[in-house]
Amino acid sequence: MFPVARAAQRLVARGIQHTAVRQAHRKHEPTFHDKYGTMVLLGGATMFTAVWGYVFTGLKIEWGVSPVGRVTPSEWRE
């Protein structure tokens, strides 16, 4: 291996080691998602269900009703 390449490889390895050691000693601080992630998800799901429930009940949709026998053709006009 060339001396320049070997020196570059050592520098990269040393930098990675320093970064790993620095992160290992740092205390883990909870992020926004750690603190509130589940509550935000549940709140969004609740709002989604409430809004669509209101929309579907307000439209008065009759589910599963077949038009067979109810729809009759109109008389032909000439």
Query: What is d(CA 58, CA 52) in angstroms, rounded to the nearest whole number?
Result: 10
pLDDT at 34: 84
Q: What percent of the chain has pLDDT over 70?
A: 77
Mean pLDDT of the residues in the chain: 79
Q: Is a pLDDT exceeding 80 seen at residue 68?
A: no
Query: What is d(CA 78, CA 73) in angstroms, rounded to the nearest whole number?
Result: 15
**Claim: this prediction has a pTM higher than 0.85:** no
Backbone angles phi, psi at 30, to 5 degrees: -65, 135
Q: pLDDT, tens digit, for every residue of 43-63?
A: 999 999 999 998 888 877 666
